[in-house]
Structure 1
């Protein structure tokens, strides 16, 4: 047993939506006291770093209602039940950018907000992009523009807080680390 482990005594689902479930757990702390934890359960997601033949990165620009602003992000999306992450990655790439690939390379996985959510994102990269002959229908409530940026331009958008989400900032950092090897 981990010396910091909190054991669940009781769990109550407060809300179950299309994307997340909110539960409140009563836990036993390592010192024997009890506390409450509000936890968001998420099915997980994928993100893709699409690199073009001329070494540009494809990003999507879209409005994010929780933040009340537009962000520049790498293509990403939620895992469907029972779906393998690489299938989700290819689907999201096609829906959001109009490109496809047959070569997805897994880079890493990471948690987005471990203090209150269990969401994990699986990060992939592809350097084998092909424009789809026919457009794939994406989510009907999703509106995006495509941007092609160099790594340096992406780093500037991080500084300018136009890239302001962890998955995309992490991807830009990861690319810089790969480039320095």
Structure 2
């Protein structure tokens, strides 16, 4: 059971301390309801957010991609994902990213959940979207190299999660939530 919500701290000052093409680092001067003041740092939110697509084909396989991940300097097996462009809904962005990264469009898109990563330090949010009724459709994206596309049976998610190159926490959570979502539909 969740207790009553605490009073959010008052933001006294926000200072951008660094920025790059993709990121802005902010320093937050905060005063908590008990009078304690602290300085926090965060990667600030920019843009319109992002989507992660859990695409499930007619044979109950999830569509995965293998891509280079700069943060870990390695290739990783994961779900298609990308930024929501200005003017796009999360569903339109999910369909576009799926076409760009995996070569499929979706006739059915269901919002699953909005997730964060390290919310104590980052404001980034990603919307998990389930894509079904897939059809072949490839769009040119901004990826520097072609993505390896793999199908994995939804019935074997536990084995997928155990693989050493399937490590992204948001993708793991999204798969288990998708499995529950789809089981409720049956």
Matched-pair contact (CA < 8 Å) for 1:154–1:163:
no
Matched-pair contact (CA < 8 Å) for 2:130–2:178:
no
The 10-residue stretch of structure 1 (138-147 or 117-126) with the greater mean CA deviation from structure 2:
138-147
Pairs within 5 Å for 1:2-81: 3-42=6-45, 43=47, 44-81=49-86
Report deviation, 1:69.
Answer: 2.0
Give the secondary-structure state (helix, strand or coil) at the position aligned to 1:103. strand
Match of 2:170 in 1: 167
* 4+ aligned runs moved over 6 Å, structure 1: none
Question: What TM-score do you get using the length of structure 1 for normalisation?
Answer: 0.88
Pairs within 5 Å for 1:48-127: 48-127=53-132
Distance across 1 between alignment mates of 2:132 and 2:7: 42
Distance across 2 between alignment mates of 1:178 and 1:103: 14
Q: Considering only aligned residues, what root-mean-square deviation do their CA atoms show, in Å? A: 2.0
Distance across 2 between alignment mates of 1:45 and 1:152: 27
Question: What TM-score do you get using the length of structure 2 for normalisation?
Answer: 0.86
Report deviation, 1:180.
Answer: 4.3
Number of residue pairs matched? 179
Give the secondary-structure state (helix, strand or coil) at the position aligned to 2:133. coil
The answer for unaligned runs of 5 or more in structure 2 is none
1:139-168 CA deviation, whole Å, 9 max, x = no partner?
A: 142542101001244421312332211221
Distance across 2 between alignment mates of 1:176 and 1:28: 42
Give the secondary-structure state (helix, strand or coil) at the position aligned to 2:108. coil
1:24-55 CA deviation, whole Å, 9 max, x = no partner?
A: 11111232121111111233210111111111
